[in-house]
Amino acid sequence: MADLRETGPATPETRDTRLRRLHMRSMRRGIKEMDIILTRYSETRLAELDENMLDLYDDMLSENDQDLYRWVTGQDAPPERLAPLIGDIQSSIQEGFSD
């Protein structure tokens, strides 16, 4: 039987690969509303984010969709660590309505 243990460090992910992975995760959410919101955000803003914000976005995608929806719609306050990113998503939603 083959040994499946990791034998060394994983190949680092290129920025382009990371952006594509995050975009796919943005499109395939648990609720349709978050599919729409995060797909649009990833299409318009993801490439502009620095590595720290991409790390935060990656972490945010692990959050529960119902919580994310309540945060981006302003029904509940987001956790402090996610507040700047959620604020940017909220801004992108507002800009979408003015297009």
CATH code (residue 28): 1.10.150.250
Residue 40 located in a structural domain: yes
Who has greater pLDDT, 56 or 7? 56
Dihedral angle computed from the Cα positions of residues 12, 16, 19 and 23, in that order, rounded to the nearest 10 degrees: -120
Are 52 and 73 a contacting pair, CB within 8 Å?
A: no
Percent of the chain clearing pLDDT 70 (strictly above): 87
Residue 6 located in a structural domain: no
Q: What is the pTM assigned to this prediction?
A: 0.83
Please report the pLDDT score of residue 99 as a whole number.
54
Residue 4 located in a structural domain: no
| Banded pLDDT at 30 (limits 50, 70, 90) | confident
Host domain of residue 52: 16-98
What average pLDDT is seen over the chain? 89
Residue 5 located in a structural domain: no
Please report the pLDDT score of residue 6 as a whole number.
53
Who has greater pLDDT, 8 or 82? 82
Domain count, the chain: 1
